[in-house]
Amino acid sequence: MTDRRPDYPIDPIFHTRWSPRAFVPAPMPESDLLRSIEAARWAPSAFNAQPWRFVYSLRGDSSFEGFLDLLDPFNRAWAQHASAIVFVVSDTMLRYDGEVSPSRSHSFDTGAAWAQFALQASELGYHTHGIGGLDYDRAHQWLRVHEGYRVEMAIAIGTRGTVEELPEPLREREGPSPRRPVSELAFRGGFQ
C-alpha cells in the first residue's frame, strides 16, 4: 500500500489526485471540461502573458480518433477510453507592451495551468492523466498549431474505470504513487 500521507497538513485535493489509466468510456459534458480550463486560466504567469492554450476533442466528436492517433501506441491503448483528450500548447514568445521576445517561462507557466486544470477536474469528480508520449511534430501539424507555439503534452480526462478493464501489464501499475519527502526537496539557505 503506497503511503500517501502528506508530511505537513494540506488540503486533501493535492494528495488525493492521481492519474489512473482505467477510464469508463463515457461522454462528458463540454461544460465540465471548460470548467477545468477555466481553473487553468487563473494560473499565474510571467508578465501575466498566459501562454497556455488547450486544444480538445470530446468523446463522440469526429476528431476524437485523430486526437488519439497522435499518442504513442502504449498511451493510446488506455487513453482511448477517456471522455476527452486535451492537447496543452504554450506560446513560446512573450508578447508584452507591443514587444515580442522569446519567453523563458512559457512551459513553466503552462505547467502551473495544467496543475490547476487537473485539480479542478478532481474537484468535479473526474480523473486526469498527463501524456508526454506522443508524436509532437505530427500533433503540431495535425492540430494546426500556429508557428511559435509548442505542444507541451496531452491530457486524458474522464471517469475512473475498474482495473480489470486494463490489459494485464497495466493492472499492477494502477494506483496512486508515492512522493519524495519534503526534506529531500526543500533546502534552507542553499541547494543541497
Q: Which residues bind ligand FMN (CB under 6 A)?
A: 18-19, 75, 129-133, 153, 176-177
C-beta separation of 85 from 117 below 8 A: no
Q: Which is nearer to ligand FMN, 19 or 105 (CB)?
A: 19
Min dist CB 128 to ligand FMN, Å, is: 8
Min dist CB 183 to ligand FMN, Å, is: 19
Cell of 28: 462528458
Tell me phi and psi for residue 142, to 5 degrees.
-65, -35
Q: Which is nearer to ligand FMN, 95 or 145 (CB)?
A: 145
Residue 143: closest CA among 86, 103, 94: 86
Min dist CB 112 to ligand FMN, Å, is: 12
Cell of 182: 519534503
Min dist CB 191 to ligand FMN, Å, is: 23
Q: Which is nearer to ligand FMN, 29 or 133 (CB)?
A: 133
Min dist CB 115 to ligand FMN, Å, is: 9
Q: How far apart are CA 169 and CA 147, in angstroms?
A: 39
C-beta separation of 30 from 61 below 8 A: no
Q: How far apart are CA 30 and CA 22, in angstroms?
A: 21
Min dist CB 189 to ligand FMN, Å, is: 29
Per-residue H/E/C for 78-97:
HHCCCCEEEEEEEECEEEEC
C-beta separation of 110 from 88 below 8 A: yes
Q: Which is nearer to ligand FMN, 44 or 133 (CB)?
A: 133
Residue type, 74: F
